Structure 1
Amino acid sequence: MADPIVVGVDEHSALSAVTWAAREAVLRGASLTLVSVTARPGSAGVPIEAPAGVFEGADEDAETLLARAKAIAMTVVQGRSLEITSVHSIGSPVPELLARSESARMLVVGTHRHGPVERLILGSVSAAPVAHAHCPVAVVRELPHVQPHQIPGPVVVGVDGTASSIPAIDLAFEEAALRNVDLVAVHAWSDIDLHKVRGSRDFAWDTVRTRETAALSESLAGHVQDYPDVKVRPVVVADRPAHNLRKHAETAQLLVVGRRGRGGFPGMLLGSTSRTLTHWVSCPLIVVH
């Protein structure tokens, strides 16, 4: 039961994230750690002069949330074995989750999407772990019409043809095998929208597609041998990887991408494609370091 699945629990994003994390833990034979963090004056992001009364009842609320989250996780188990640990910490959620990511198999965070502002930026408790965690991070949206543990469809993975996407491919094959579903591997030749580039209509796409299809097959070859029961559906497109991954994610139960794409600089922790997808996909998204 080493390397648990860790999920952040708060009043805004807990339920769908907990449900998904519990199912993931059961699939992997891992333990589940529920983490709720209560702020105090002087803790990160909280002025030391903040009135103590502001936090009155916070500990009790946190314990109630954790008990609720554990009950939700147990409904997913349905008689199967799942070790659940509840942790109530004092401080700031982001440092706590990042510290726990060092020994976690996966970190799961929830996020909402209500209006235009929320569509443009994830809350800091979700965004910071995606960019800085030491393990894969699953982002699970809290949407009323989506039950993440009941979503049918394949696993989708983004393949950019570089070494940076190999860890994402590894995890995507593993997830598809655990779920006994197909794997859709999406590879885009260009990161930009070619329709906006002058003269792009003149390039020989058929020739490029043949070459890029071969490159995609090469990226997947070793994994296909390791997971012979996983049916792979390769998809090669000319451009706009975020757009095409989002399109395939509409009918997927999970989307897996690397944290930094082929054009990322060493100091850039989150590539443009993964950053865009964290804002816009409805299915659970795993971002892999």
Structure 2
Amino acid sequence: MGRSEEPAAAAETTTGGAGGGPFVLVGTDGSPSALRVVEVAAREAGQRGVRLVVAHAFIWPLFRVSLEPSLYGPTEGGLRRQAQIVLDTAVARARAVAPDTEVSGELISGEPLVVLATRSRGAELVVVASRGTGAFGGLVLGSVAVHLAAHAECPVLVVRGRDEPEGPVLLAVDGSPDSDAAVDFAFAEARARGAELVAVHAWAPRSGPGDLTPLFHGAEEVHAEAGRVLDAALARAAERHPGTKAEPRLLRGKPREVLLEESGSAQLVVMGARGRGGFAGLLLGSVSQALLHHAHCPVAVVRNSAG
């Protein structure tokens, strides 16, 4: 699957509560958007009843530069001290948001992409910002979010859009293996949030100049098949989540356009990394890419672990 195989170094510093068991992982880089993400991650961990791990990737040791204060500067200076302040600030913010949740901080030597992807092993969820201090101004989405959505060992929640999203959890259904994996995540998320769950399947009889579907199937047949895909996905989920109901919505239109519009009234979009018809060599499908770049609310990307 093209995942990075480079291992991250062990944590140099752990701030409080270094327990075991399931956890939510959040990366922080000291930016204002990262602190917002830490707050979201703290609430996610609290809803799940698991601990929160706040990680800061400390890249400077890889360059063999001095980490200690300058002989001519203040004693509280130095790169190591600055990194610890970034981590401690984020941990304090998480504890203020979720005082009943166990929170620990990890200062890890390594490149952010590698650190978070490696540390995601064993996590229930990784939470990241759509952009951080490391993003170039011309990029719509930071490289960390894109990389993790394709490589993390667990679902990834990318925080973007409205500061206080409200409305239902929006589940994108298309019958693909990744979409099936996203169904269970969406049902659990809706239950944890106490939110309504809306399952959307977008269909269109004509998807482009090269689509031969209209030559062999009319709009009614395509619509009926789309309905069967949606009903089958929800029927399977209903057996595993008997206490949670989903409102099915069969909407005509291109998936990316339909989901972007529906995200305007949702508090979360849940979708698979790749949908039906995606090229096997691509780790993220075009619809997932579009939602990560332009959705009006946070987006959770779920990959099929068997894929």
TM-score by length of 1: 0.84
CA distance in 1, matches of 2:34, 2:275: 29
Shift of 1:162: 2.4
Say which of 260, 263, 266 aligns to 2:280.
Answer: 266
Say which of 165, 177, 181 aligns to 1:167.
Answer: 181
Say which of 25, 28, 39 aligns to 1:9.
Answer: 28
CA distance 1:116–1:241, shift in 2 (3 Å): farther
Per the alignment, residue 91 of structure 1 pairs with 110
Shift of 1:61: 2.1
Asked if 1 retains the 8 angstrom alpha-carbon contact of 2:288 and 2:301, the reply is yes
**DSSP 3-state at the match of 1:220:** helix
Per the alignment, residue 59 of structure 1 pairs with 80
Deviations 1:32-75 (A, max 9, x none): 0000112226x3xx6x7x7979x973322222222221222123
Per the alignment, residue 112 of structure 1 pairs with 131
CA distance in 2, matches of 1:166, 1:194: 25
CA distance in 2, matches of 1:197, 1:269: 23
Per the alignment, residue 72 of structure 1 pairs with 93
Say which of 175, 196, 203 aligns to 1:189.
Answer: 203
Shift of 1:101: 0.9
CA distance in 2, matches of 1:89, 1:137: 20
Asked if 2 retains the 8 angstrom alpha-carbon contact of 1:153 and 1:252, the reply is yes
Shift of 1:188: 2.1
| Residue 215 (structure 1) aligned with residue 229 (structure 2) | yes
Say which of 284, 287, 293 aligns to 1:279.
Answer: 293
Per the alignment, residue 59 of structure 2 pairs with 39
Shift of 1:189: 2.7
Shift of 1:199: 10
**DSSP 3-state at the match of 1:117:** coil
Say which of 135, 144, 156 aligns to 1:137.
Answer: 156
CA distance in 2, matches of 1:58, 1:76: 28
CA distance 1:100–1:52, shift in 2 (3 Å): closer
Deviations 1:166-200 (A, max 9, x none): 11001001101111211111112359745997996
**DSSP 3-state at the match of 1:151:** coil
**DSSP 3-state at the match of 2:57:** strand
Gaps of 5+ in 1: none
Say which of 271, 274, 293 aligns to 1:257.
Answer: 271
Which has the larger helix fraction?
1
Asked if 2 retains the 8 angstrom alpha-carbon contact of 1:38 and 1:90, the reply is yes
Per the alignment, residue 121 of structure 2 pairs with 102
Aligned amino acid, residue 140 of structure 1 = V
**DSSP 3-state at the match of 2:166:** coil
CA distance 1:191–1:100, shift in 2 (3 Å): farther
Aligned amino acid, residue 251 of structure 1 = S
Between 1:130-139 and 1:107-116, the stretch displaced more is 107-116
CA distance in 1, matches of 2:78, 2:234: 52
| Residue 21 (structure 1) aligned with residue 35 (structure 2) | no
Shift of 1:270: 0.8
CA distance in 2, matches of 1:37, 1:199: 49
Q: Percent identical across equivalent pairs?
A: 36
Per the alignment, residue 12 of structure 2 pairs with none
CA distance 1:195–1:263, shift in 2 (3 Å): closer
Aligned amino acid, residue 82 of structure 2 = D
Asked if 2 retains the 8 angstrom alpha-carbon contact of 1:4 and 1:30, the reply is yes
CA distance 1:116–1:158, shift in 2 (3 Å): farther
Shift of 1:239: 3.5
Deviations 1:14-39 (A, max 9, x none): 11211111111001011100001122
Gaps of 5+ in 2: 1-19, 71-76
Q: CA RMSD in A?
A: 3.1
CA distance in 2, matches of 1:248, 1:96: 34
* Aligned length in residues: 275
Between 1:99-108 and 1:217-226, the stretch displaced more is 217-226
CA distance in 1, matches of 2:210, 2:266: 29
Aligned amino acid, residue 108 of structure 1 = V
Aligned amino acid, residue 96 of structure 2 = T
Per the alignment, residue 10 of structure 2 pairs with none
CA distance 1:67–1:108, shift in 2 (3 Å): same
